Structure 1
Amino acid sequence: MSHPNVIKLLEDWQSTKPELYPIAAAIFQRIRQQAPELIETPKYGGILFSRTKAESSTICGVFVYKGHVTLEFSQGAQLNDPYRALEGCGKYRRHLKFKHLNDLDAKHLNDYLTWAIQA
């Protein structure tokens, strides 16, 4: 069961970003399907997914921007990237950027989620 503030954030995205909401909701659902044990926390304007309540255990986060949705991986620089879909060049984080619903499969979302969850 999602935290009430997570549900509120999803509802906010649905009303304020209706063109991007289906993408964010689909990413959210795929994470819940692959790792229902993860803890959801609304933070930094997005939804973080962690192993424990400690921020250091954050695996990823979903964020909605003006023209796209990102799935940010906290330790993305360490992830396997055979599809070369990860973006970013920071010391730790990498992200996948989605502008269309079909990008989820085109950018191999399920594979990257599996690798991040198993890391």
Structure 2
Amino acid sequence: MADATPDDLGDLMEQPNPGFREVMSCVFGIHQHETRTYLSLIDQPGSTVEELATQLERDRSNVNRSLSTLLERGLATRERRLLDSGGYVYQYTAEPLPEAKERLHTALDQWVENVHEVIEDFDGELVE
């Protein structure tokens, strides 16, 4: 499970002491390698794909896919920087950690609220 995404919160709840990576992967629906990419961006804002690939020791195409997922989830932003020699390069920055943590708290609080409603609304009849 080193690089897997937990299927749901149930998988996460079975872990006695889940780490931040596992929580983030489960709640945001991302793989742990994408969480690693996010955390690398926290440490090195404005990184390029090339820099991240070197830092993470991963292929550039894999890093590109991870970044695409992070962009889709709102966990990263991308800016184009013009190069002096001509052309451009994209630089990526992670959503600030306090905002990501707040989103995690909000998502989990909403899930807990929904589960409480399901429990309260249950009248003993199983509906398939």
Structures share fold, TM-score greater than 0.5: no
- Larger Rg over CA atoms: 2
TM-score (norm 1): 0.29
TM-score (norm 2): 0.27
**Higher relative helix content:** 2
**Higher relative strand content:** 1
